[in-house]
A and B are shown apart, each in its own frame.
Chain A
Amino acid sequence: GAVVSQHPSRVICKSGTSVKIECRSLDFQATTMFWYRQFPKQSLMLMATSNEGSKATYEQGVEKDKFLINHASLTLSTLTVTSAHPEDSSFYICSAPPGGAGTDTQYFGPGTRLTVL
């Protein structure tokens, strides 16, 4: 299957700082990537859709000024959590569909555990 990587895998930061998380598709190009958040013992919740060369689209209730998304190339999307607070502590996971006719399968990265002190 297709490979998606994330960096870093784990980050601890102080309240008020900004954190950048990278999502890369290693063996395919992705014009679209997705960012999810997962709280303990809960399922994945879609935060936003990252579109290469255009603005991201955010799900209802997700602050676009707090969660900045940049899809700079066909293999890289970044999520920046600005002015992070303890309630932003979560597991952030990206996904990408390799595309191609008749397939919508998304492959997920290994996730980034964010802890805000």
Chain B
Amino acid sequence: EDQVTQSPEALRLQEGESSSLNCSYTVSGLRGLFWYRQDPGKGPEFLFTLYSAGEEKEKERLKATLTKKESFLHITAPKPEDSATYLCAVCRGSARQLTFGSGTQLTVLP
């Protein structure tokens, strides 16, 4: 059974204080790993898709990396508007169904 574990559950940072969020996964035949951002009361907003170990993708202050067992979402010099819940999900098989982790709730204080 696919398992996705995210840590920490919650993270409070000062504005400008860089950090990383972790997503550990167990899945046979990974088809893709996805990062989403979710604001309260809204649907997840797509950030990144990673397909193979060693792959990295960047968008503004965010950088996602992937190994064979985990993925990291690095946040450089965060701003208060980066506060949200960050979700990691894995996709396996041709059905393209996603299994989500429980998320990391990030709060960036001004």
Contacts and interface: CB of A to CB of B under 8 A. Distances in A.
Interface string B16-48: 000000000000000110101000011111100
Contact of B45 (A49, A103, A108): A108
A108 to B, nearest CB: 4
Interface of B: 31-32, 34, 36, 41-46, 49, 87, 89, 91, 95-103
Given A43-B103, A44-B100, A49-B97, A103 B49 contact: yes
A111 B96 CA distance: 20
A1 B46 contact: yes
Contacts of A1: 46
Contacts of A106: 34, 46, 96, 98
Contacts of B36: 108
A108 B91 CA distance: 15
A32 interface: yes
A: contact size bracket: 20 to 34
Contacts of A45: 100
B25 to A, nearest CB: 14
B87 A44 contact: yes
B42 A110 contact: yes
Given A43-B102, A43-B103, A104-B32, A111 B42 contact: yes
A34 B98 contact: yes
Given A45-B100, A105-B34, 6 more contacts: A44-B89, A44-B100, A95-B43, A97-B96, A106-B34, A108-B46
B43 A43 contact: no
Interface in A35-74: 42-46, 49
Contacts of A32: 96
B99 to A, nearest CB: 8
Contacts of B101: 43
Nearest to A1: B46
A111 B95 CA distance: 22
B44 A93 contact: yes
B42 to A, nearest CB: 6
